[in-house]
Structure 1
């Protein structure tokens, strides 16, 4: 898809705050509010904007603890990988999941109210996914940055 400078500006703006009105966005971009609405609709329909979400303070809802987990699997059989991928994507506690190269096979970011809740989830993961050989966990001591913003350059380079 060809993205022009206006589209790129819009993508940066809505990533920073998707609750901005078309009028507010129009002031920053230099287009009319109706042009902004048409562009945003097109960006959503074409899948450039995958979804809109609110960023919630994890402490405010009793989920202050994060874990960075590396999973190592036994075999890379397609059906076993599909089973694990499905399990990971269905769990609300799993914030992000990456299939990676290197010493481990998956890296996941997990949120939990405490270590006991995390331990229960990981026990269930191992029970329901016997292809998981082992996992290592890093407990996040301080959340320095949280976000999913993708930097969009204003030109196409």
Structure 2
């Protein structure tokens, strides 16, 4: 684990809330100079603590109002079959999140789609392209109560 001091932790919490904050704005909130902020952010990116900067969109405004949670079960956990399925999932832009899990399902996917028909077509393609998928179940998100990827970073370890 990377050694993070209190300033790093403050920065991480702030940039998770708004990655568009300038070094000057961050400097005011963290009590460091803008150049120190820039050096720290560069180091955190180089160390792989900050993976990327993204914009969070309103799904309904870009035609992606529906969200689905799919639980996949596989036939075999052979390395080559699992690698092929993982690659398919990683390459599919409509899969927003994917988890390899324990329990009855092997994978949990969070999927966005224009409508139920588009989701069904995607899942039909998943099955056609990945014969290792035994079955899947779907839950339709009726409402989004929380959406985000922020990780709580305590100021003191």
Normalised-by-shorter TM-score class: over 0.9
In the alignment, which residue of structure 2 is the partner of 1:139? Answer: 140
Q: How does 1:77-96 map to 2 (within 5 A)?
A: 77-96=78-97
Aligned residues: 156
Which 4+ runs in 1 deviate beyond 3 A?
none
Is residue 104 of structure 1 aligned with residue 109 of structure 2? no
In the alignment, which residue of structure 1 is the partner of 2:48? Answer: 47
Q: What is the TM-score with the length of structure 2 in the denominator? A: 0.99
Q: How does 1:114-153 map to 2 (within 5 A)?
A: 114-153=115-154
Alpha-carbon distance in structure 2 between the residues aligned to 1:72 and 1:49: 32
Give structure 1 stretches of 5+ with no counterpart: none
**Offset of 1:144 from its aligned partner?**
0.9
Secondary structure in structure 2 of the residue aligned to 1:47: coil
Give structure 2 stretches of 5+ with no counterpart: none
Secondary structure in structure 2 of the residue aligned to 1:56: coil
Secondary structure in structure 1 of the residue aligned to 2:110: strand
Secondary structure in structure 2 of the residue aligned to 1:76: coil
In the alignment, which residue of structure 1 is the partner of 2:17? Answer: 16
Alpha-carbon distance in structure 2 between the residues aligned to 1:79 and 1:148: 30
Is residue 28 of structure 1 aligned with residue 33 of structure 2? no
Alpha-carbon distance in structure 1 between the residues aligned to 2:79 and 2:99: 16
Alpha-carbon distance in structure 1 between the residues aligned to 2:41 and 2:122: 38
